[in-house]
Amino acid sequence: MNKVKLVRKILVYAIYVVFLVCFQVSFPDKISFDAQIADIMFVFVSLVAYYYGLWDGIIVGLVVGILRDCFAAPAILSFNGDIATSVGIGSLSMFLVAVFSASVFTVKMHRKFSFALITVATCSVIYKILGHGAIKLWTTVFSSASYSLSFKQVVVDSILVQVLLNLICAIPLILLLRFAGPYSGGVNPALSKNDTGGNQSWLTV
């Protein structure tokens, strides 16, 4: 990759990351429905990893995760029993989203619109299940309190609404990445070279 293309890639990623992260934490009311907020950062990381591969995904995921920790860190029970903001949970979750999105589907299915949506939906469901599971575990172990959400509330009010919102915001993001993304033509040349030798299966994990 020559210098001009590299600078273009970094600039485009920087603009998207700054704008999307700042928009989500500054105006969550504009993208919320039924008490859930469309997770634009999450969807963006997932799509970048899906379309442009593991390394792009990891770097964008870590940057977005760090900004997520800076602007909207979760408040958790610390070891002394006080509620405090945590460091690293945003980075870890965005990093794992990138790894998952770039790894589950092999090259044969990369860059297909429908599979991009399936990736976002799958990631969202796993993120939500793991999140609820971690909070339930943390609450039980550290505060010996019970987690008040019922199974139905978790599925209907949390997971289902979040997946729908994420899918809705995935559509414009896919179009932006394809037609105004970091790579001209919407294709990472490093990945397209590997495509020719890819296998036919779509699940490799």
Partner 1 sequence: MRRLFANKWFIVVLITVLLVAIIILGAIPNSPVNKILTPVKAVANPIQRFVKSVGTTIDDYWAAITDGVAIREENVALKEEIARLEYEATKDDEAMIRYEELKDAFHIKDSFSDYDIFGASVLSREADEWFSVIRVGAGIDDGLILENTYSYAVVDNRTNLIGRVIETNSSESKILPLLHEGFSVNGKVNEVNGAVILVSGDAALKKQGLCLVTGIGEDVVIEVGDVIVTSGDGGLFPQGIPIGEIYSVDYSDSLHPIATLIPYASIDDLKDVFIMVPYNQDVATETPVTEETNE
Residues that bind partner 1 (CB under 8 A): 18-19, 21-29, 34-37, 39, 41-42, 54, 58, 62, 66-92, 95-96, 99, 131, 135, 139, 143-145, 147-150, 153, 157-158, 162
Range 198-202 contact pairs with CB under 8 angstroms and sequence separation of 24 or more: 198/106, 198/107, 198/108, 199/106, 199/108, 200/108, 201/106, 201/108, 202/105, 202/106, 202/108, 202/109, 202/115
Of the two residues 155 and 178, which places its CB atom closer to partner 1 in the complex?
Answer: 155
Number of neighbouring beta carbons within 10 Å of residue 139:
16
In the complex, least distance from residue 174 CB atom to partner 1, rounded to whole angstroms: 20
Of the two residues 162 and 188, which places its CB atom closer to partner 1 in the complex?
Answer: 162
Of the two residues 22 and 168, which places its CB atom closer to partner 1 in the complex?
Answer: 22
Cβ(166)–Cβ(120) under 8 Å?
Answer: yes
Of the two residues 21 and 107, which places its CB atom closer to partner 1 in the complex?
Answer: 21
In the complex, least distance from residue 67 CB atom to partner 1, rounded to whole angstroms: 6
